[in-house]
Structure 1
Amino acid sequence: MKIKQKPLIRVVVEGNCPTMSLTEIRTRGHAFVVDEPPYRHGTDVGPTPLETMLGALVACTNVIARRIAHERNLNLRFRKIGCEGMLDHRGIDAEADVPVPFPDIRLTLEAETDASEADLASLKDALEQRCPMSVILRNAGSRISTDWHIVPAKDATS
């Protein structure tokens, strides 16, 4: 199979850092804040960097799964995607050499679909290969488990 070369896409994010814990992020005309809770010297006006990263995994999972479904003419809609990461804080606290800060991450996906079991299994495999956040985290050594709860699309209104 011949692989089509595509140019790399430049992604630019800029952070303004008014305090040691608050970062104001800007990208493509959008803005959001990342902060720490007061017990970590923050003002708690936004999610922490690690919560933001897990949020990016949730959002990326939604976008890429829906894109794959669209490409395959499958009906897929997420009711909710939950994410729980188990953080080994010893590396942050300089207590131990921790090669993987999030050794385990669990995604819980509540979805409506009319896809067959075979189509859904194929979509799940493609999602693991194509979701950039999932690929980055897995390559860093995190184990990501996914727990899918499926409701048939025809029963979705109940």
Structure 2
Amino acid sequence: MTTLTPTSDDLATERASRLDAAASAWGARIDADRTAAHLTYRVRGTGEGAVATRIRAGGHEFVIDEPAALAGDDAAASPVEYALGAIAACQVVVFRLYAHALGIPLDHIEVTAEGDLDAARLFGKDETVRPGFSAVRVAIDVSGTASAADYERLREVVDAHCPVLDLFANPTPVTTSVSVR
């Protein structure tokens, strides 16, 4: 597992500097050209092993698998665990971004995301249930010197601006295609 270390002795100062620089650069870029905010992300997945997938995203690579009970080798987290991980990670980023912007001290953050999934649709046993999560719960544990009301207000701001939470909370048009070699 990759361990992230601060690039300076003072992580809070380093984080604040990075957040300021990113906000300033993106703000200027968007002010100069509104279309600069439109981003397209791409990942590529290649099947490996029984049902695993090697994902390439920019200069990064990781594996997604299933547990043995779902025909996998349990070599990595499952696709739905990565989806929940994406919510958790995005919440951490957006909490830090807006805590800094709003001047709300955020000493610690831990996000737990869990989802309920009925596998009956996956296995073709019940076409009346969703194949994906029927419910997702996100619990955020924070510490800092601000009031509980300030952290609740921060959560509301984060919920309104978190891209991955939006993917789960609102319909997103998806198209699929297949090509045969």
* Normalised-by-shorter TM-score class: 0.7 to 0.9
Matched, 1:6 2:35: yes
For the Cα contact (< 8 Å) 1:90–1:97, is it kept in 2? no
Secondary structure of the residue that 2:104 maps to in structure 1?
Answer: coil
Amino acid in structure 2 at the alignment position of 1:122 = R
Q: Which amino acid aligns with 2:111?
A: I
Aligned length, in residue pairs? 138
Partner letter of residue 71 of structure 2?
Answer: H
More strand by share: 1
Higher helix share: 2
Which ranges in structure 1 are unaligned for 5 or more consecutive residues? 141-158
The CA RMSD over aligned residues, in Å, is 2.1
SS in 2 for 1:96: coil
Q: How does 1:21-60 map to 2 (within 5 A)?
A: 21-60=51-90
How far is the alpha carbon of 1:44 from its aligned partner? 0.7
After superposition, the Cα gap between the structure-2 partners of 1:112 and 1:6, relative to the gap in structure 1 and judged at 3 Å, is farther
Correspondence for 2:174: none
**1: CA distance, partners of 2:57 / 2:42:** 6
Residue in structure 1 matched with residue 15 of structure 2 by the alignment? none
Amino acid at match of 1:25: I
Task: Describe the shift of the 1:61–1:100 C-alpha distance in structure 2 as closer, same or farther (beyond 3 A).
Answer: farther
CA distance in 1, matches of 2:138, 2:62: 24
2:109 aligned with 1:74: no
Q: CA deviation at 1:108?
A: 2.2
Q: Which of 111, 135, 155 lines up with 1:104 in the alignment? A: 135
TM-score for the superposition, normalised by structure 2: 0.68
Cα separation, 1, equivalents of 2:55 and 2:69 = 22
Task: Measure how far apart 1:30 and its partner are.
Answer: 0.9
Q: Which runs of 4+ in 1 moved over 3 A?
A: none
1:118 CA drift (Å) = 3.9
* 78-87 or 37-46, larger mean C-alpha shift: 78-87
Equivalent AA in structure 1 for residue 141 of structure 2:
E
Percent of aligned pairs sharing the same letter:
30
Q: Whose RCO is larger (CA < 8 A, sep 6+)?
A: 1
> Which residue in the other structure is 1:125 paired with?
156
Structure 2: give runs of 5+ residues left out of the alignment.
1-29, 172-181
TM-score between both structures, scaled by the size of structure 1: 0.77
* Larger CA Rg, structure 1 vs 2: 2
* In 2, Cα distance between equivalents of 1:68 and 1:98: 37
